[in-house]
Amino acid sequence: MKSVLLQDAVGEVRDDFIYDAHRKESCVSKRYGLFSLRRIVAVAAAVMILFITAVPAMAAMDYEPAYELLYQIYPAAAQKLKPVHLSCEDNGIQFEVVSAYIDGDELKAYIAVRDHDSDRIDETADLFDSYSINTPFECLSSCQNISYDADSRTATFLISITQWDSKPIPGDKITLRVKKLLCQKNEFDEAIFGLNLSAVQAKKETIKPAWIFGGSGSAYEKYSKDFTALIPQGNLYSPVNGVEITGIGFVEGKLHIQVQYFNVFETDNHGYIYFKNLNGDVIYCAAAISFSLNNEYADRYVEYIFDLPENNISQYKPFGYFVTSDTLIEGNWSITFPLEAQK
């Protein structure tokens, strides 16, 4: 029965979609025609049929290699063939779809994440930008932790998906995959007493970064052009574990403060530095430039540039806001769930 459904699904792939996939898929040689591409789609589906129907014990198996092959060629067909699983569990963590619906060009899904083994999940849990969403259309997505229940050790996430160009979302199901879950976050938002601003040197030597990742601030475009960073001086002061201030000084009349964030792939350590004047007014940096000296994102520095006067710098007090974590849960979670239009 399942094999018949799968074959029917492949047969329903419209010829114009096949032609469109043929034009867009650069890895398919131009000398292959519609028949060849349809054969590829059929072969990928046949592999899935073989593994799903070979033995009863494999009936519930989701044969990922064949699915991925088909998804690269024609995502709409792949998603149509994908079995529906409303929950999955790995490493003692269960992901479950609470509800999902479509409202025009926006999809909303509520996902409950529950720890069956211990108390690793808390109210700070997030998916660490490790989630991916398989859809037969181009989209923008976001994910936020909206609640946490300590008694059941469950965090609930809201995932929002919007199709580009405000078009209605097609299809009847969607697949969410997650590789990492970050928990037990700590926030630091205090004065940085370990910086002696009165001893800041007026002229500091700089070095050209190997790679600039990006940045922020109203003057980012200005300062990122031909940017040279302070030469790291090691740990001058560490306000929290995983965050070290590695340089401070004036460059061309602007105050630079350099911070290194460690283990960003495992902790998502991040933050920023700001100042307060004698009246308590907050002064943010004009630019924050993220860079590496060796082309490795894991060895990430951020240099904060402030437009503060050299001769009066002692009248300003430095503060830091940093977020760190020490609990990374890795797994392989994948759930495919049906969609319903909002009524």
Encode pLDDT of 165-195 as tens digits.
766 676 677 888 899 999 999 999 999 988 8
Among 43, 63, 81, the domain boundary falls at 81
Same domain, 10 and 69: yes
Does residue 343 belong to any structural domain of this protein? no
Tell me the per-residue pLDDT of 206-241, one tens digit each, with 9 for 90 and over: 999 999 999 999 999 999 999 999 999 999 999 999
Same domain (yes/no): 179, 205:
no
Same domain for 259 and 143: no
Say yes or no: 33 and 152 in one domain: no
165: which residues sit within 8 A by CB, 6+ positions away? none
258 in the same domain as 172: no
CATH number (domain holding residue 175): 2.60.40.1630
Non-local CB neighbours of 54 within 8 Å, separated by 6+ positions: none
Q: How many CA atoms are closer than 13 Å to the CA of 81, on its beta-carbon side?
A: 34
pTM for this model (two decimals): 0.69
Q: What is the pLDDT of residue 3?
A: 40
Q: How far apart are CA 13 and CA 35, in angstroms?
A: 13
Q: Are 84 and 337 in contact (CB under 8 A)?
A: yes
Distance of alpha carbon 12 from alpha carbon 229, whole angstroms: 58
Last residue of a domain, one of 20, 46, 81: 81
User: Do both 119 and 134 map to the same domain?
Assistant: yes
Last residue of a domain, one of 81, 96, 129: 81
Residue 341 has pLDDT above 70, yes or no: no
Q: Is residue 310 part of a domain?
A: yes
Q: Alpha helices of 216-338 — where are they, by DSSP H?
A: 220-224, 264-267
Residue 297 placed within a domain: yes
**CA atoms of 255 and 239, how far apart (whole Å):** 19
Contact 252, 205 (CB under 8 A): no
Q: Where are the alpha helices (DSSP H) in 167-323?
A: 220-224, 264-267
Phi, psi (5° rounding) for residue 302? -130, 130
Q: Are residues 117 and 222 in the same domain?
A: no
Considering the domain architecture, whether residues 181 and 196 belong to the same structural domain is answered as no
Range of the domain at 214: 188-324
Give the count of domains, the chain. 3
Mean pLDDT across 133-154: 84
- Considering the domain architecture, whether residues 100 and 154 belong to the same structural domain is answered as yes
Inside any domain, residue 245: yes
Secondary structure (3-state) at 143: strand
CATH code of the domain in which 198 resides: 2.60.40
- My answer on whether 155 and 212 are in the same domain is no
pLDDT of residue 187: 94
Sign of CA dihedral 59, 64, 66, 67: positive
Same domain, 160 and 250: no
* 215 and 161 both lie in a single domain: no
**Contacts of residue 330, Cβ cutoff 8 Å, sequence gap at least 6:** 91, 179, 180, 181
